[in-house]
């Protein structure tokens, strides 16, 4: 399979668009040509793939999976898409276990989510310059349909519940990115101080607050710990991005979290997360060298190319 179609094309402003941008150079480096959809299809959004495409004779489909489990609303659709000409690409060992425990007709393969190459460079950062512990979160938390409704996958209410019990003489919250309307309003209603890096708007700010990768990189470097409260994700990319900048991560057991993080960096409840932030205050002020070393192993270019070739040429 030396010719591939990418479906659907998305702008980099969407996470799925940046996934495509990060993978395309590896595909081309491996000798694959990207052509229209009547060739073999590599889909970055499997559940948006039209069902008619599955009926195209003699075609293979590579479906990048978000996190889907037996109790997910997309499970029945995943099973209906499953066939011998499908390879399910799992971005985490957690997703691999779920799919491997079910009798799928298609192949199941692991392939980590790539981050931008800007994170692979050894960052020139120093931690601990501020007396406060700087807690960052740069993932959108509101839905596009209603900017003041929470995006359940990101679980912003858990983030709010964690930080509302902190001493803000010692902690500082840094937010950035588009569609942060829900969390910003909630923090303001609770009189919780925070810094928002961006243009404040009551309207959809996707166009004005979507930051370029180098700005996000700088923001992560300025933080001591990235707090991930997501309930369901394939990634998130925020975890390897933070680790590669030697920034600590405190996360729910979501997506690929356990592929990157030790047990003491994963929490289940708001009380547990808050306790970790307080008790490990001095630890989080230091550079996370171990986190970068592990993330570099997973994001290794040679290993990634070998996995990609094996999946596509199978």
Q: Please tell me whether residues 104 and 125 are part of one structural domain.
A: no
pLDDT of 40 over the 70 cut: no
Q: Name the domain count of the chain.
A: 2
Q: Please tell me whether residues 78 and 99 are part of one structural domain.
A: yes
Tokens of 79: 């099973």
Residue with the larger pLDDT of the pair 194 and 207: 194
Phi, psi of 99 (to 5 degrees): -70, -35
Q: Please tell me whether residues 74 and 195 are part of one structural domain.
A: no
Q: Please tell me whether residues 281 and 308 are part of one structural domain.
A: no
Query: What CATH number corresponds to the domain at position 292?
Result: 3.40.50.2000
pLDDT of 200 over the 80 cut: yes
Q: What is the pLDDT of residue 13?
A: 47
Q: Please tell me whether residues 76 and 63 are part of one structural domain.
A: yes
Q: How many other C-beta atoms are found inside a 10 Å radius of the C-beta of residue 199?
A: 10
Q: What is the pLDDT of residue 122?
A: 87
* Length reported for the chain: 314
Stretch 272-289: mean pLDDT: 95
pLDDT in tens, 128-179: 678 999 999 999 898 878 888 898 889 999 999 999 999 999 999 999 999 9
pLDDT in tens, 218-268: 999 999 999 999 999 888 999 999 999 999 999 999 999 999 999 999 999
CA distance 219 to 173: 12
Per DSSP bridges, beta strands 225-228 and 195-197 are unpaired
pLDDT of 7 over the 70 cut: no
Q: Please tell me whether residues 38 and 131 are part of one structural domain.
A: no
Distances (CA, A) of 292 to 63, 109, 117, 159, 307: 29, 25, 14, 24, 21
Q: Please tell me whether residues 20 and 100 are part of one structural domain.
A: yes
Tokens of 226: 């990235």
Q: Please tell me whether residues 168 and 66 are part of one structural domain.
A: no
Residue with the larger pLDDT of the pair 47 and 234: 234
Q: Please tell me whether residues 148 and 103 are part of one structural domain.
A: no
Query: What CATH number corresponds to the domain at position 57?
Result: 3.40.50
Q: Please tell me whether residues 124 and 104 are part of one structural domain.
A: no
Residue with the larger pLDDT of the pair 205 and 39: 205
Question: What pTM value is reported for the model?
Answer: 0.89
Q: Please tell me whether residues 292 and 164 are part of one structural domain.
A: yes
Q: Please tell me whether residues 136 and 285 are part of one structural domain.
A: yes
pLDDT in tens, 85-119: 888 989 999 999 999 988 788 889 999 988 988 99
pLDDT of 6 over the 70 cut: no
Asked if 303 and 296 count as a contact pair (C-beta separation under 8 A), the reply is no
CA distance 42 to 19: 12
Per the structure, the complete domain to which residue 196 belongs is given by 117-296
Stretch 189-204: mean pLDDT: 94
């Amino acid at each position: 399979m030396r010719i591939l179609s990418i479906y659907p094309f998305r702008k980099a402003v969407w996470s799925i668009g940046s996934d495509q941008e990060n993978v395309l150079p590896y595909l081309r480096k491996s000798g694959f040509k990207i052509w229209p959809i009547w060739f073999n299809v590599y889909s970055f959004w499997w559940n948006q793939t039209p069902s008619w495409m599955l009926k195209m004779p003699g075609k293979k489909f590579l479906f990048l999976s978000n996190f889907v489990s037996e109790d997910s609303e997309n499970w029945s659709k995943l099973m209906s898409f499953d066939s011998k000409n499908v390879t399910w690409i799992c971005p985490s060992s957690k997703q691999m276990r779920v799919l491997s425990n079910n009798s799928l007709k298609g192949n199941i393969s692991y392939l980590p989510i790539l981050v931008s190459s800007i994170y692979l460079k050894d960052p020139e950062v120093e931690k601990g310059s501020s007396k406060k512990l700087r807690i960052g979160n740069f993932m959108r938390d509101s839905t596009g349909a209603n900017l003041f409704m929470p995006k359940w996958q990101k679980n912003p209410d858990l983030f709010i519940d964690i930080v509302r019990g902190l001493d803000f003489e010692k902690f500082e919250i840094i937010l950035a990115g588009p569609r942060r309307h829900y969390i910003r309003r909630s923090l303001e209603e609770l009189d919780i101080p925070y810094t928002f890096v961006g243009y404040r708007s009551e309207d959809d700010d996707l166009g004005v607050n979507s930051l370029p990768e180098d700005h996000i990189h700088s923001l992560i470097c300025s933080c001591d710990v990235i707090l991930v409260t997501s309930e369901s994700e394939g990634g998130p990319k925020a975890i390897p991005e933070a680790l590669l900048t030697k920034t600590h991560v405190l996360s729910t057991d979501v997506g690929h979290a356990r592929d990157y993080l030790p047990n003491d960096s994963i929490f289940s409840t708001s009380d547990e997360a808050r306790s970790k932030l307080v008790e490990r205050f001095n630890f989080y002020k230091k550079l996370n060298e171990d986190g970068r070393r592990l993330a570099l192993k997973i994001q290794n270019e040679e290993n990634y190319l070998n996995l990609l070739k094996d999946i596509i040429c199978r």
